[in-house]
Structure 1
């Protein structure tokens, strides 16, 4: 179904197609905990043949803890090395005003879209969810990918409410990180009208109909993720599950383990985290 443009947005603004493996990049740091541009270049160029888009500065990129300069440097470095692939900048902020400020900066840095979680701290509920995204989409010059989660926001899982968010002009996709295959299937049954990307490795093959996958394993084994997404086969899911166990991707500090492996491979210069 054609989607109208919000007031003030150019109708010709290109919108990235969201499908396949989208990688939520770690944020490589040097010894002074500045973004290491060389590491970003190696990481992005190595992933480029296997992924359809890059998603820096989200939770795997320690987005909640990045300083403004770290955030901007990471987005800038990703854009510089993306080789034409869309860059979807994560904005881990809980209120619409700061989100819109960051979205303006993302546009200046050359990002193609912003990825925005529900409002937090907790307590907004489903009406607050729709109001939040209505304000964000109305004010952002970049398209918006909804980062659907409830661990931080505490927003109840409600497929109808999320489908209403998807119908807002300016929303171009959903990173569906509820952790529930049943919820993902319910959302798809609502025909949200935008691509739904599975946000958990253990669910890649569980819900036919998703357009793609976004998860930290894509930093390390994007080809394995792509095979599971293409096949929806149990054997490929078992391969994904084994790798998740090997790299501790369901630990609270999963991004630390991803960085340790990338540093061991020589892809990034240090395994340092932001905190």
Structure 2
């Protein structure tokens, strides 16, 4: 097994990679290879597979394992590889994590199980049991919109003291939550705090976040890397200009459809139109049809990314 290059804390842009598909249970292998090189070519600092943007809960286990194997082999240690192991089954989460470690992944990412709601003491106990079985360092994943469970700041504080838990990916869209987390963790500088909502990337990094796990970096990785770098340097003029691009993406590509699935559909549609990979989406969703595709095509022609 190769030596991990995972730094503590993990900093920078760690795109939550989409999962290129040909149909319900077939990877778009050629598209996957092109997508990985497209993302890494943008100078990102890591890669996260089998998250929300990767449609993990909708994928068969066979497909998840194939994705882990192919991605790990291609990335080959060029950046840290994080693998989502969230599942409703404790045992399946551990199996995914063990396989990921065998294939060379650097860390696992775990959200609360997403069917039964847990109280905070139950969540702490559950994650404590998981860490005893894990062969990899662990990032917590706060995604209350999908899991129905919010990781309270106090819960994160307790779990941050577990040696195997090294960071948090927060997708709550709650900046008050972020400020509380940062204040409570000020004595633990090796614990990474990464934000998911890209509209908050600039603000959060300026205020102490370690980076972003931003879906738009599937399409335009260099944009998000440049915005992160400008925020770290506190180059406000550059931050303002690049942040406008991120907001433009949010208000166009992510806002074309009528439902919450529009973000994922928009990213996959854009990547398809860019010639990177197939835009098939696993059920219960479907890819954009011709009217929406033409809208996305128009938006892509108007978005000028020159970083």
Answer yes or no: same fold by TM over 0.5: yes
Between structure 1 and structure 2, the one with the greater Rg is 2
Report the more deviating stretch, 129-138 or 105-114. Answer: 105-114
The answer as to whether partners of 1:64 and 1:93 remain within 8 angstroms in 2 is yes
Give me the whole-angstrom Cα distance separating, in 1, the residues matched to 2:276 and 2:268: 9
3-state SS, counterpart of residue 75 of structure 1: helix
Within the alignment, does 1:46 sit opposite 2:30 as a pair? no
- Hey, what does 1:234 align to over in structure 2? 240
More helix by share: 2
TM-score, normalised with respect to structure 1: 0.89
- 1:83 deviates by 4.1
Q: Does 1:255 align with 2:247?
A: no
What is the aligned partner in structure 1 of residue 216 from structure 2?
217
Distance, in Å, in 1 between the alignment partners of 2:158 and 2:5 is: 20
What's the CA shift string for 1:134-170, capped at 9, x where partnerless? 1111110111111112123222452121121122121
Q: TM-score, normalised by structure 2?
A: 0.80
Structure 2 residue aligned with 1:203:
200
CA 1:156–1:25 in structure 2 vs 1: closer, same or farther (change >3 Å)? closer
- 1:89 pairs with 2:83: yes
Q: Pick the aligned partner of 2:6 from 8, 16, 20.
A: 16
Which aligned segments of 4 or more residues in structure 1 are displaced greater than 6 angstroms?
Answer: none
Whether 2:62 is the aligned partner of 1:60: answer no
Residues 31 and 123 of structure 1: is their aligned pair in 2 closer, same or farther, counting only changes over 3 Å?
A: closer
- Residues 119 and 128 in structure 1, CA contact (< 8 A), matched pair in contact too: no
Query: How many corresponding residue pairs?
Result: 263
In the alignment, the residues of structure 2 paired with residue 155 and residue 31 of structure 1 have an alpha-carbon distance, to the nearest angstrom, of 31
Deviation at 1:120, TM superposition (A): 2.9
Q: Kindly state the Cα deviation for residue 235 of structure 1 after the two structures are TM-superposed.
A: 3.0
Task: Within 5 Å, give how 1:1-275 maps onto structure 2.
Answer: 14=4, 16-17=6-7, 18-31=10-23, 33-49=25-41, 50-84=43-77, 85-191=79-185, 193=188, 194-207=191-204, 208-232=207-231, 233-248=239-254, 252-253=260-261, 254-268=263-277, 270-275=278-283
What's 2:295 paired with? none
> Could you give the per-residue CA deviations for residues 104-124 of structure 1, whole angstroms, max 9, x where no partner exists?
122223222111102332421
How far apart in 2 are the matches of 1:274 and 1:195?
Answer: 31
Preserved CA contact (<8 Å) 1:72 1:109: no
Q: Is the 8 A contact 1:95 1:132 kept in 2?
A: no
Give per-residue Cα distances to partners, 1:148-204, cap 9 Å, x unaligned. 121232224521211211221211211111111111111011116311001111111
Consecutive unaligned residues of structure 2, counting only runs of 5 or more, are 232-238, 284-307
C-alpha distance after superposition, 1:56-99 (max 9, x if no partner):
11110100111011101111121122142111111231343321
What are the Cα deviations for residues 211-242 of structure 1, in whole angstroms up to 9, with x where unaligned?
11002101011122122222333332222111
Map Cα deviations across residues 236-264 of structure 1 (whole Å, 9 max, x no partner).
22221111222116952222221111111
- Tell me the secondary structure at the aligned position of residue 30 of structure 1: strand
Three-state SS of the structure 2 residue aligned to 1:248 is helix
Structure 1 Cα separation of the partners of residues 26 and 111 of structure 2: 25
Q: What is the CA-CA distance between 1:14 and the residue it aligns to?
A: 3.9
**1:6 aligned partner:** none
